[in-house]
Structure 1
Amino acid sequence: MLSIKPQSFEQSRGRYSGTVVILASGPSAKGFPLAACPFPVIAVNGSVHSFDGLAVKPFYYLCDDVNFARGRPELLAMGIASSEHVALSDLCFLEAEKRGIALPEDKPYFLLERVNRMRGQVPLGDRRFAWSIRDDRELHSDFSLWRRKPNRIGFSCNFSKGYFCARTIAYVGVQLAFHLGFSKVLLVGVDLDPAAGRSYQEEKTLPSTLDDDFEDYILPSFRFMRQRIIQPGRFEVFNLSPCSRLPEQLTPRVAWNQIFDEPV
């Protein structure tokens, strides 16, 4: 049982517009001019470390990885303390409480829940769930009678109905951006290369499932988003990482100065 009462995501649906940054933990994030960024920033997992010592703070902080919460509780605490809005999975909330991390009362909290794993619902098989939402205008999913993995690929336009995991929280952030009403998303630090390390650690080789998940879940999810969700002028996603594993045809690459020199 959580000690705080999370707000409903329905209250925040479509409240915002314009451009938003999703800050991940790839090493390319080190060169991003965060202090001069004029856009709201959604920080995920350990990327909140980039705000240390700055006058700016994250618009949202997301964490759904309890292993990260257990391994780097100081960064979890930083994200909770410094962000305007906090969205965590139930296990991350419980880990924060277990470790005595303060949950200030002066900010809204939201519960991150995966589709087909919502509280009070009986989970369906992946194939059955994908079929059940075939006519849903807010939950979009791939579907296959013969293979299981395509049924786990999708995109949520309404966080009140949960999110699709895709095995990377940056993709969760993109879905949240859509839900909130933003029309342009800038990916920062979404390098997806575990051998390169993370922006908040010096080690170059870290335990990660990215290599295993990239071909099976991450790449298909961004491809699905490109084919089914992206609409020029209405919802677009751009990648500021010059070394990202995501193909440019899925998330077009731009440089920071291009954001202001030409329309994006």
Structure 2
Amino acid sequence: MLENGRVVNTLAFERLRGKYSGALFIVASGPSVSEFPLLRYSQYSMMSMNGSICRFAEAGVRPLFYICDDSSFVRNRLPFLQQGIASAQNVAFSPRVIETLLAQVPDALVGRSVYCFERANRPVDGRKPMSDRQFSWAARKDADFECHFSLFRQKPNRIGFSRNIDKGYFSSRTIPYTGIQLAYHLGFQQVFVVGMDLDSSKGRFYEQGEDAVGSRLDGDYEDYILPCFELMAKRVVNPAFQVYNLSLESRLPGSVLPKLTLDQLDDLLAAL
């Protein structure tokens, strides 16, 4: 899987571009996941990430994709990662996640459908990345990207959305946003995000007490998370691609991402 420090023998996302349609549920790790009746919607395609895979195991549901782009999660939560690899139909990991995983469990990915994805402007083929400003200027001319641009501040140049995961994704410092970009790439038209509470004080649904791992959500919310979702709402969401938040207590305003009750969700799904 690794050759000269580079990831090889992984599948390209291009083969799946536009292959799917309809609704997709993205299940994150906020505490509201515990209130979501996963089995009730198990006939729809689903995406799991990081520790949310344990909710799928409990319900006996096999997600279409399990994704992880944080190598520290491998070090801190290896059993969850192995659970995702074993139960998901496909897995998508960043190069550092794969490298960290294989250093600990060399045969962890044998026989699995593994896709490698990386942040925008972080080539996996050894090429040197451009500066954030150079990349965002170039991306403005690429129909697969939406992004901000600033000559004077660095942070705006990291705010964006990718319609083509093979070209990279914008992290927004929260993995559900990565999942939404993947959902667009795959062709889904309605995306429902579960457990995106974005409140570090509430922790993750699968962690308690001293077992909890620290979160950077509060520090990243104003600079990266909120601006990325605002950009997506203005430039990407349209009648052919809709994104909804199923966490009614989410820190993200409903004016940016509409919030749905389960009754509203059922009505919307019935109308599709």
Shorter-chain TM-score: which interval? over 0.9
Q: 2:140 aligns with which of 126, 131, 134?
A: 134
> More displaced, 104-113 or 134-143?
104-113
Q: Is residue 95–residue 124 contact of structure 2 (8 Å, CA) maintained in 1? A: no
Q: Provide the residue aligned with 1:220 in structure 2.
A: 227
Q: Quick one: distance in 2 between partners of 1:104 and 1:117?
A: 23
Q: Does 1:12 align with 2:19?
A: no
Tell whether 2:266 aligns with 1:260. Answer: yes
Are the equivalent residues in 1 in contact too, given 2:26–2:179 (CA < 8 A)?
A: yes
Q: 1:165 to 1:104 in 2, by over 3 A?
A: closer
Q: CA deviation at 1:102?
A: 4.5
The offset of 1:213, in angstroms, is 0.3
Amino acid at match of 1:125: S
- Aligned-partner Cα distance in 1 for 2:214–2:253: 24
- 2:122 maps to 1:108: no
Runs of 5+ unmatched residues, structure 2 = none
Distance in 2 (CA, whole Å) between partners of 1:49 and 1:125 is 38
* Structure richer in helix, relative to its length: 2
DSSP 3-state at the match of 1:238 = strand
The sequence identity of aligned pairs, in percent, is 43
2:25 is paired with a residue of what secondary structure? Answer: strand
Q: Secondary structure at 1:117's aligned position in 2?
A: coil
Read off the aligned partner of 1:16 and give its amino acid letter.
Y
SS at match of 1:186: strand
Query: Distance in 2 between the 1:67 and 1:104 partners?
Result: 18
The DSSP-based 3-state class of the residue aligned with 1:257 is: helix
Q: Aligned residue for 1:34?
A: 38
- Whether the aligned pair in 2 keeps the contact of 1:14 and 1:180 (CA below 8 Å) is yes
RMSD: 1.7
Tell me the distance in 2 between the aligned counterparts of 1:218 and 1:12. 27
TM-score normalised by length of structure 2: 0.92
Pair 1:250–1:137, CA change in 2 (3 A)? same
Spell out, residue by residue over 1:8-35, the C-alpha distance to the aligned partner (whole angstroms, 9 max, x if none): 1100000000010110000000011112
User: Which runs of at least 4 in structure 1 moved beyond 3 Å after TM superposition?
Assistant: 101-107
Shift of 1:248: 0.2
Report the CA distance between 1:147 and its aligned residue: 1.4
Report how far residue 196 of structure 1 moved.
0.3
Alpha-carbon separation, structure 2, partners of 1:48 and 1:255: 23
Corresponding residue for residue 238 of structure 2: 231
Normalization by structure 1: what TM-score? 0.95
Describe how 1:236-255 pairs up with structure 2 within 5 A.
236-255=242-261
Which residue matches 2:26?
A: 22
Q: Distance in 2 between matches of 1:156 and 1:231?
A: 15
**CA pair 242-101 structure 1, distance change in 2 beyond 3 A:** farther
3-state DSSP of counterpart to 2:181? helix
Once the two structures are overlaid, the 10-residue window that deviates more, 93-102 or 244-253, is 93-102
- Note if contact 2:117-2:166 (Cα within 8 Å) is conserved in structure 1: no
Distance 1:101 1:211 in 2: 35
What corresponds to 1:149 in structure 2? 155
The residue aligned with 1:72 is 77
Q: Secondary structure at the match of 2:146?
A: strand
- Tell me the distance in 2 between the aligned counterparts of 1:4 and 1:48: 26
- In the alignment, the residues of structure 1 paired with residue 58 and residue 140 of structure 2 have an alpha-carbon distance, to the nearest angstrom, of 47
CA distance in 2, matches of 1:195, 1:174: 24
Give yes or no for contact 1:77–1:101 (8 Å, CA) kept in 2: no
2:102 counterpart (94, 97, 100): 97
Query: What is the CA distance between 1:177 and its match in structure 2?
Result: 0.2
Q: Secondary structure at the match of 2:59?
A: coil
Q: 1:4 Cα shift? A: 6.3
Q: Distance in 2 between matches of 1:127 and 1:167?
A: 19
Task: Find the aligned partners of 2:213 and 2:78 in 1 and give their Cα distance.
Answer: 17
Question: In the alignment, does 2:123 pair up with 1:118?
Answer: yes
**Kept in 1: contact 2:245–2:258 (CA 8 A):** yes
